[in-house]
Amino acid sequence: MAKLRHLVAGNWKMNGSRSMAAQLIADLKAHDLNAGGAGLAADLLVCPPFPYLIHASEFLMGSNIALGAQDCAPQESGAHTGDVAAVMLKDCGCSHVIVGHSERRTDHGESSAEIAAKAKAAQAAGLIAIVCVGETDRQRDAGETLKVVESQIVNSIPAGSTTANLVIAYEPVWAIGTGRTATAGDVEVVHAHIRKLLLAGVKGGEGVRILYGGSVKPSNAAELMAVPEVNGALVGGASLKAADFLGIAAACA
């Protein structure tokens, strides 16, 4: 199977300001990592909070860095106060949207069925849905990692998903923002299992990128990005500093 090009996605979460977004994107563009293509090992994506998307899309002009959001509504439009429709994200210049991040599964009680509905809405709007999965430390200690991830994959991926409209992010909940990362061996087992499920359930499943997320930083990126079936990273904390984010991208071989 052809090697998939890595995608390094920055999930800014609820951080930043308009001026910070301008500065961070200017720093990313200045490195020009993604503009010329020479020696490039990864595609870059930034996912700022909703209010900054429209500005970010302007700041990103002239670069190949893609823009994504952190969530979307399952509905197309209508009386859903506080929600944001996928078509609006598309309208603001987004190409991607993260759905089912563990912080949304936990903070907002989102079920896999709801996440599948969000991913479906995203795909219908012409966006690439980045569907997040991952076990808690209790589930891991109970030996349930593969079972939990399988159930999330099977129930969170909508019918009609293809290589062109789906990315998976495996993020063990215990590794997010904690400084703890899964070992390369742990990651390999889970990613291999996810690939098997994608091959069985998604058209073009061999081409769907599977990102790893959870305390990825420049110092551990090379080892994690070299794991078979790891096709990039979903980066939280380290995506807020251009040097760290670019350092992770540079570690993709």
Cite the active site residues. Answer: 101, 171
Instruction: Report the candidate in 241, 2, 202 with the shortest Cα–Cα distance to residue 119.
Output: 202
Candidates 28, 119, 216, 250: give the one binding ligand PGA (CB under 6 A): 216
Nearest approach, Cβ of residue 191 and ligand PGA (Å): 16
C-beta closer to ligand PGA: residue 87 or 97: 97
Report in angstroms how near the CB of residue 177 gets to ligand PGA at its nearest: 4
Q: Given the rule CB under 6 A, which of 136-144, 151-159, 183-191, 230-238 is the region that contacts ligand PGA?
A: 230-238
Residues β-bridged to residue 11: 47
Type and span of the H or E element at 42: strand 42-47
> What is the b/e burial string over 209-234, where b = at least 16 CB atoms within 10 angstroms of the residue's CB?
bbbbbbbbbbebbeebbebebbbbbb
DSSP state letter for 161: -
Site membership for ligand PGA, residue 92 (CB under 6 A): no
CB of 3 to ligand PGA, least distance (A): 24
User: Using the rule CB under 6 A, is 236 a contact of ligand PGA?
Assistant: yes
* Binding residue count for ligand PGA, defined by CB under 6 A: 13
Cβ nearer to ligand PGA, comparing 52 with 245: 245
H helices of the chain, in order, are 18-31, 53-59, 86-91, 102-107, 112-124, 137-141, 145-156, 184-201, 218-225, 242-250
| Cβ closest to ligand PGA, residue 72 vs residue 87 | 72
Contact 130, 161 (CB under 8 A): no
Of the candidate spans 84-92, 148-156, 170-178, 186-194, the one that interacts with ligand PGA by CB under 6 A turns out to be 170-178
Sole window of 17-25, 64-72, 189-197, 229-237 interacting with ligand PGA (rule: CB under 6 A): 229-237
**Residue corresponding to tokens 């899964």:** 182
Residues 16, 22: Cα–Cα separation, whole Å:
10
Indicate whether 48 belongs to the interface with ligand PGA (CB under 6 A): no
Q: Is residue 201 a contact residue for ligand PGA (CB under 6 A)?
A: no
- Three-state SS at 13: coil
Measure the CA–CA gap between 77 and 133, rounded to whole angstroms. Answer: 26
Provide the mask over 6-45, with x wherever binding to ligand PGA is found by CB under 6 A and - wherever it is not. -----x----------------------------------
Determine contact, residues 149/193, Cβ cutoff 8 Å: yes
- Positions touching ligand PGA (CB under 6 A) are 11, 171, 176-177, 213-216, 234-238
